[in-house]
Amino acid sequence: MHMSEIMEMLIRRGFLWQSFEIYGGMAGFIDYAPLGNNLRRKIENIWRKYFVINERAAEIDTPTIGIEEVFIASGHATSFTDVAIECENCGRVYRADHYVKEKLGIEVDETVEAVKEVMEVYDLKCECGGRFKDPAPMNLMFSTTIGPGKGKKGYLRPETAQGMFVDFKRLANFFREKLPFGVAQIGRAYRNEISPRQGVIRLREFNQAELEFFVHPGEKKHPHFSLYAKDVVKLVDKFDSQHEITLEEAVEKGIIANQILAYFIGKTRRFLLEIGIKDEKLRFRQHKDVERAHYATDCWDAEVLTSYGWIEVVGIADRTNYDLKRHSKFSGEDLSVFVPYEEPVKVKRRKIVPILSKLGPEFRQKAKKVAEALEALNVEADLDEVEVEVDGEKVKVTKEFFEIQEVEEEVTGEKVIPHVIEPSFGLDRITYSVLEHAFDKDVVDGEERRVLRLKRWVSPIEVAVLPLLSREPFESKGMEIVQMLREEGIFTDYDDSGSIGRRYRRFDEIGTPFCVTVDHQTFEDETVTIRDRDTTAQVRVKLGELPSILKELLRSEKDITEFGEVFRQV
Ligand SMILES: Nc1ncnc2c1ncn2[C@@H]1O[C@H](COP(=O)(O)OP(=O)(O)OP(=O)(O)O)[C@@H](O)[C@H]1O
């Protein structure tokens, strides 16, 4: 099976098209054609079932353009870079680590220094034979201007995640300040990838489904871990050691940093299997220390084997509280939640008691804020002077303005900035991998056929209604059945052109799991045949029972022969 053979089929049959095709196309952009679009939507809905409905989580939708402040705080404005190399002769620009891997077969750290060294040692040249300029970092965000004239600087979001961090205060309130909770977002993300030469794998505009799961920093556990604890997963750790191990053991041995990461690895695996990724072509690879994003402590990628090699389709990262802390610092908002203790505890502390009669005349309108800042301080020893911050300004307060007293207080809880575990899914890579893994060929009736063995519940067209002969009354009966199935919410197509064998092949090629045929007997006893794409077996069923039988077949992997008299078994 070759990549170009699959791509040819996907384009011809209406799954994926090159964007701007009539103008020559543009690398890094694809159109979802009717079938591909339906497939991706179905995958999204299954994702929702796993990561929103089945968690204490909610889905939101925030703008795809972000104001500059957001990306300064998140670090993307300075750190979201790849190292680029530009040819002095032909002007082509490459992503350095990819070019080095392709030409020299070695991995290079994504730093300017490391790339420079490799270029010198191996005397790396451009494909045109030209010399490269010095490597330089290139920011991957698309920038834009919001509003007329000079306007305000903005960026197209490189991930959906920031929208969820920026809304954290409202979200915490929505979840009644009770941890853990998750926030999900499905939407477009944009990265000005340097040299997107891998077709549908590296896009400049792509679709992400991200879950930010906020937890107490001291409780990196998930209440439903037992659901996946015994699942055996293939892991490649940061030292390149391979393990085939239960998730429970991987946590016990410290291969996976915490239980909640393991939980999401398990859940991600089950989701990917449900949509049709093959288990034997799926592994989880831990990021090496040098590879991890600027915000993460531990990170695992779900990688899928395709004709492009192993590709990352999901990143599952422990982002700690990096993002919330940064947004808190840059916005001045308190992004902590108050976590109550099971029992209040008594603590002794030395407290500053401000002397208000003296503070007033000295600090005037700021006096109240100075007093509050003084009260909030914890002091270890007697002090002659303390410093507090009021409205961003540092203020020195000498001891004539306060007393230090030891008090016993009842503390009912603490403020914490939650940590976040983030499973981040690339829907385009996933959709493409599902198509590749489903692509198959076999021999039916002595002829080679191409068949897309998609899981029934993701197939873009679920049922095809085919009149045996393209004339009346077969056609009207066929259209009547189409209408009946569509009203039941089944994605149904109708085809009356060409021989019945050719029509079956057409629907096999696009992965339609069932074909319903109107034949002579239909008019005698109100029955039709259903044909199964994978086994090509056919059964005869009563027309009145057709919708319920198809619905049951479409949500299960049941054998068609359970549902009716076998009409033809190949
Ligand atoms: N340019 C892209 N085109 C399509 N999907 C992408 C692209 N960049 C990232 N993704 C998807 O989004 C997911 C989460 O993004 P993340 O930031 O972890 O990717 P990444 O590690 O930067 O990807 P890569 O190393 O391949 O550039 C990835 O697992 C991937 O499936």
pLDDT value at position 269? Answer: 98
Q: Which residues contact 55 (CB under 8 A, 6 or more apart)?
A: 182, 211, 213
In this structure, are 248 and 290 located in the same domain?
A: yes
- pLDDT band of residue 112 (cuts 50, 70, 90) is very high
Q: Ligand 1 within 6 A of 314 CB?
A: yes
- Residue 10, in any domain of the structure: yes
pLDDT value at position 51? Answer: 98
Query: pLDDT (tens digit, 9 = 90+) per residue, 10-64?
Result: 999 999 999 999 999 999 999 999 999 999 999 999 999 999 999 999 999 999 9
Q: Ligand 1 within 6 A of 313 CB?
A: yes
Please indicate if the annotation marks 45 as binding a ligand.
no
Q: Ligand 1 within 6 A of 464 CB?
A: no
Q: Ligand 1 within 6 A of 295 CB?
A: no
Question: Which of 90, 113, 139 is where one domain is finished?
Answer: 139
In this structure, are 162 and 269 located in the same domain?
A: yes
- Residue 447, in any domain of the structure: no
CATH number at residue 477: 3.40.50.800
Please indicate if the annotation marks 159 as binding a ligand.
yes
Please indicate if the annotation marks 427 as binding a ligand.
yes
Q: Evaluate if residue 568 carries a pLDDT over 80.
A: no
pLDDT value at position 317? Answer: 95
Indicate the top mutation candidate among 316, 429, 432 to test ligand 1's pocket, ranked by most ligand atoms within 8 A of CB. Answer: 429
Residue 426 Cα, ligand 1 centroid: separation in angstroms?
A: 6
In this structure, are 295 and 185 located in the same domain?
A: yes
C-beta pairs of 140-147 under 8 Å, 24+ apart in sequence: 140/80, 140/81, 140/82, 140/191, 140/192, 140/193, 140/194, 141/71, 141/76, 141/77, 141/80, 141/190, 141/191, 141/192, 142/190, 142/191, 142/192, 142/204, 144/65, 146/65, 146/67
Q: Which residues contact 197 (CB under 8 A, 6 or more apart)?
A: 27
DSSP secondary structure of 506-560: HHHHTT--EEEEE-TTHHHHSEEEEEETTT--EEEEEGGGHHHHHHHHHTS---G
pLDDT value at position 144? Answer: 97
Please indicate if the annotation marks 349 as binding a ligand.
no
pLDDT value at position 378? Answer: 78
Distance separating alpha carbons of residues 102 and 105, to the nearest angstrom: 6
CB atoms within 10 A of CB 397: 23
CB atoms within 10 A of CB 218: 9
CATH number at residue 95: 3.30.40.230
Please indicate if the annotation marks 192 as binding a ligand.
yes
- Residue 329, in any domain of the structure: no
pLDDT value at position 418? Answer: 97
Closest among 92, 262, 56 to 174, alpha carbons compared: 56
Q: Ligand 1 within 6 A of 354 CB?
A: no
Query: Interhelix angle for 259-275 vs 427-438, to 10°?
Result: 50
Q: Evaluate if residue 569 carries a pLDDT over 60.
A: no
Give the strand pairing for 402-416 and 514-518: unpaired
In this structure, are 209 and 156 located in the same domain?
A: yes
Average pLDDT over residues 275-294: 91
Please indicate if the annotation marks 54 as binding a ligand.
no
In this structure, are 135 and 224 located in the same domain?
A: no
Indicate the top mutation candidate among 424, 425, 427, 431 to test ligand 1's pocket, ranked by most ligand atoms within 8 A of CB. Answer: 424
Q: Whose CA is nearest to atom 19 of ligand 1?
A: 315
Amino acid sitting at position 17: W
Q: Evaluate if residue 228 carries a pLDDT over 90.
A: yes
- Residue 260, in any domain of the structure: yes
Q: Whose CA is nearest to atom 6 of ligand 1?
A: 426
Average pLDDT over residues 90-110: 90
Question: Which of 426, 450, 470 is where one domain is finished?
Answer: 426
End-to-end CA distance of the chain: 25
Could you give the ipTM of this predicted complex? 0.96
- Residue 455, in any domain of the structure: no
- pLDDT band of residue 109 (cuts 50, 70, 90) is confident
Q: Residue 48 in contact with residue 59, Cβ under 8 Å?
A: yes
Query: pLDDT (tens digit, 9 = 90+) per residue, 346-396?
Result: 988 888 889 989 998 989 888 999 998 888 887 877 788 888 888 888 899
Query: pLDDT (tens digit, 9 = 90+) per residue, 299-308?
Result: 999 999 999 9
Domain count, the chain: 4
Q: Which residues contact 394 (CB under 8 A, 6 or more apart)?
A: 387, 388
- Residue 114, in any domain of the structure: yes
Residue 189 Cα, ligand 1 centroid: separation in angstroms?
A: 10
Ordered strands of the 205-215 beta sheet? 57-59, 181-190, 205-215, 419-426, 309-320, 298-306, 282-286, 232-236, 242-246
In this structure, are 104 and 176 located in the same domain?
A: no
In this structure, are 524 and 389 located in the same domain?
A: no
Q: What angle do CA 354, 358, 364 make, to 5 degrees?
A: 100
In this structure, are 169 and 312 located in the same domain?
A: yes
- Residue 438, in any domain of the structure: no
**Beta pairing partners, 349:** 407
pLDDT value at position 3? Answer: 67
In this structure, are 135 and 278 located in the same domain?
A: no
DSSP letter at 254? Answer: T
Distance separating alpha carbons of residues 375 and 165, to the nearest angstrom: 30
Looking from the CA of residue 317, the nearest atom of ligand 1 is: 18
Q: Whose CA is nearest to atom 7 of ligand 1?
A: 202
pLDDT value at position 61? Answer: 98
Q: What is the span of the domain harbouring residue 210?
A: 3-80+140-323+421-426
Q: How much of the chain, in percent, has pLDDT values that exceed 90?
A: 81
In this structure, are 314 and 352 located in the same domain?
A: no
In this structure, are 135 and 58 located in the same domain?
A: no
CATH number at residue 193: 3.30.930.10
- Residue 481, in any domain of the structure: yes
As a whole number of Å, the CA-based R_g of the chain is 30
In this structure, are 115 and 158 located in the same domain?
A: no
Q: Ligand 1 within 6 A of 187 CB?
A: no
Query: pLDDT (tens digit, 9 = 90+) per residue, 189-204?
Result: 999 999 887 788 999 9
Q: Evaluate if residue 295 carries a pLDDT over 80.
A: no
Q: Is 418 buried (19+), middle (13-18) or exposed (0-12) by CB count in 10 A?
A: buried
pLDDT value at position 313? Answer: 98
Query: pLDDT (tens digit, 9 = 90+) per residue, 404-433?
Result: 888 888 999 999 999 999 999 999 999 999
- pLDDT band of residue 2 (cuts 50, 70, 90) is low
DSSP secondary structure of 41-60: HHHHHHHHIIIIITTTEEE-
Q: What angle do CA 486, 187, 281 make, to 5 degrees?
A: 80
Please indicate if the annotation marks 115 as binding a ligand.
no
Please indicate if the annotation marks 201 as binding a ligand.
yes
The 3-state DSSP class for residue 330 equals helix
Residue 255 Cα, ligand 1 centroid: separation in angstroms?
A: 23
**Structure-block tokens of residue 390:** 């009021």
Q: Ligand 1 within 6 A of 517 CB?
A: no
Q: Residue 196 in contact with residue 212, Cβ under 8 Å?
A: no
